[in-house]
A and B are shown apart, each in its own frame.
Chain A
Amino acid sequence: MSAFVDALLGQPFLQRALVAGVLASLGCGLIGPWVLIRRMSHLAGGIAHAVLGGMGIAFFLGASPLLGAALAALVVALLIGLIHLYWETQEDVLTGALWSIGMAVGLLFIHGTPGAGADLMSYLFGNILLVSGKDLLFMLLIDLLVLGVVGLLHRHFLAISLDEDFARSRGVPVALVYLILLTLVALTVVLLIRVAGLILVMALITLPAAASSLFARSIAALTLGATVIAITCTTAGLALSYAPDWPAGPTIILVCALVYGLALIATTLQRRVIPSGS
């Protein structure tokens, strides 16, 4: 651990990695609770994997892969939203299809782009140590956007997540609010690609929020708890992976899983020792 602290003080790339972890955690904390409450982890997974299509096309065209990822995430989020609204009975199949089609398109374009394979691994599994100052600015802008929209619309998100019919009766534009929420999920996926990669991103979105939900007694507490847990996990994962030179993304995910597992065991034991109502 002291080696990590020493390196942190002297190595700018490690400092950027630490800041990236905090910025990514803020996105996880803000959006993870809604993915859980709305039970949309499958949809978010579809967005995450289909993003490879946009990245592959960006590689092929010589454009920024993160820009390609962002555009693809927005397009796929819109498609998934429309599928939910108009072809709900086919939602599961069509989301799964988008998931695979996006990856297939991405792999074909990457195959046609000499030298793109090396970068591909860092986007599939993340490499927080390669984050640049420009990436940090990009992440900060996404965080601010997500924070602003969630701050304005969190009650609308709760209303449509609890009960769409009731929300409609109150004049809430359910379809539009749902599409906005999906768009935020898509942006958060892009935010996290550098940290965890598109294969592992779902765990980083859902596990801190799931751990926080075991203790929280309000949506605000759930959000704050998820953010704190995510910051702790990304920082701990980064520190643990440094000395043995493990890949940081997978280490962070395993720390998240460990924290969730411990929280689950702790709350289960607590309920057995102190049954509810006593």
Chain B
Amino acid sequence: MTAAVRIRNLRFAHAGQPPVLNGIDLGIAPGEFLGILGPNGAGKSSLIQLMAGVLRPDAGTIEILGRPVREMRHRVGYMPQHAPHVRHMPITVSALAQLGCLQGWRPLGRSRAIERTRAAAALAQTELAELAPRLLRELSGGELQRALLARALVADPAVLLLDEPTAHIDPAAESRIWALLRRMTPARTVVVVSHDPALLARHADRIALLNGTLRVLAADALDAAALQWAYSRHPELHAAAAARREAAG
């Protein structure tokens, strides 16, 4: 079976800095829910940006459904870590979602009507249909995150890549988004970067621990020793991660 995502011998460094990712190999099966966990600076966001084609690797290859990323952008949905910084501007939830139809210079839809239909479907999936005419500034933090998820879903991606989708939102909104993501599989492959081992252990099929190298384990095998390894360069983060996991039972 062709992997949804196949990474081989990946190396990446930010300009003028030592490699943040080196010798990374990873295969993600179609329909799998993979969590990526690791300390700050371990390269989690870089890894997901490389999969999304936002960054280019210095060496190695990344394939989506057996083809290079640049040829498969239309099958990938990406939700960046940071929300748009122009919430003061008159942009509606529907207009935001429709931007997911862009594909290079051309939109995916043959007409604006098709794009509006696609956006409406994605907003329904993220339980935001009633908020489509609202301005971004009128949304709560959780609603904005779901609107960004809808934008990533508009192109009907086979692979959904999300970078800390529930950072800085309240627990109720967080639970709602994770439940939505869980429902995306197995129809889609979902890859999520998170700082929260408890949430990943509960929702993901496998967890990729990133700390200089990559170690992948089944979600139910995430224990204190694995967290100790993942946060070995950052004992204070390990303690916080372990506490979060214990608190979640």
Q: When chains A and B are docked, how far (Å) is the Cα of A75 from the Cα of B47?
A: 37
Q: When chains A and B are docked, how far (Å) is the Cα of A232 from the Cα of B91?
A: 25
A37 in complex: contacting residue of B89, B96, B105, CB < 8 Å: B89
- Closest residue of chain A to B49 (Cβ to Cβ) is A165
Question: Size band of the B side of the interface?
Answer: 20 to 34
- Closest residue of chain A to B99 (Cβ to Cβ) is A159
Residue B95 is within 8 A (CB to CB) of chain A in the complex: yes
On whether the beta carbons of A166 and B80 are closer than 8 Å, the reply is yes
Complex interface: stretch among A10-18, A47-55, A214-222: A214-222
Q: Scan B57-87; emit 1 where CB is below 8 A from any A CB, else 0.
A: 0000000000000100100101110101110
B151 in complex: contacting residue of A166, A173, A276, CB < 8 Å: A166
Chain B 144-171 residues near chain A, CB threshold 8 A: 151, 155
B54 in complex: contacting residue of A158, A169, A219, CB < 8 Å: A169
Chain B 93-110 residues near chain A, CB threshold 8 A: 95-96, 98-100, 102-105, 107
B91 in complex: contacting residue of A158, A166, A169, CB < 8 Å: A158
A163 in complex: contacting residue of B70, B84, B107, B135, CB < 8 Å: B84
Residue A272 is within 8 A (CB to CB) of chain B in the complex: no
Chain B residues in 8 Å Cβ range of A216: 90
A-B contact pairs, 25 of them (CB 8 A): A155-B98, A158-B91, A158-B99, A159-B99, A159-B102, A162-B84, A162-B86, A163-B82, A165-B54, A165-B80, A166-B80, A167-B102, A168-B52, A168-B53, A168-B54, A170-B99, A171-B73, A173-B104, A173-B105, A217-B90, A217-B133, A218-B90, A218-B91, A219-B90, A219-B95
A39, A162, A167 interface centre (most CB from chain B within 10 Å)? A162
Please give the residue numbers on chain B whose beta carbons come within 8 Å of chain A beta carbons, in ascending order.
Answer: 49, 52-54, 70, 73, 76, 78-80, 82, 84-86, 88-92, 95-96, 98-100, 102-105, 107, 133, 135, 138, 151, 155
Given known A-B contacts A171-B53, A276-B138, A161 and B86 have beta carbons under 8 A apart:
yes
Chain A residues in 8 Å Cβ range of B90: 213, 216-219, 221-222
Q: When chains A and B are docked, how far (Å) is the Cα of A222 from the Cα of B135?
A: 13
Chain A residues in 8 Å Cβ range of B49: 165
Number of interface residues of A (CB under 8 A): 27
Given known A-B contacts A155-B107, A165-B54, A219-B91, A37 and B99 have beta carbons under 8 A apart:
no
Chain B residues in 8 Å Cβ range of A39: 85-86
On whether the beta carbons of A162 and B138 are closer than 8 Å, the reply is no
- Closest residue of chain A to B15 (Cβ to Cβ) is A86
Chain A residues in 8 Å Cβ range of B99: 155, 158-159, 162, 166, 170
Chain A residues in 8 Å Cβ range of B92: 217-218
Chain A residues in 8 Å Cβ range of B95: 158, 218-219
A156-B105, A169-B53, A169-B54 known; 10 new pairs, CB 8 Å cut-off, are: A39-B86, A162-B91, A166-B80, A167-B102, A171-B70, A171-B104, A173-B104, A218-B91, A219-B95, A222-B89
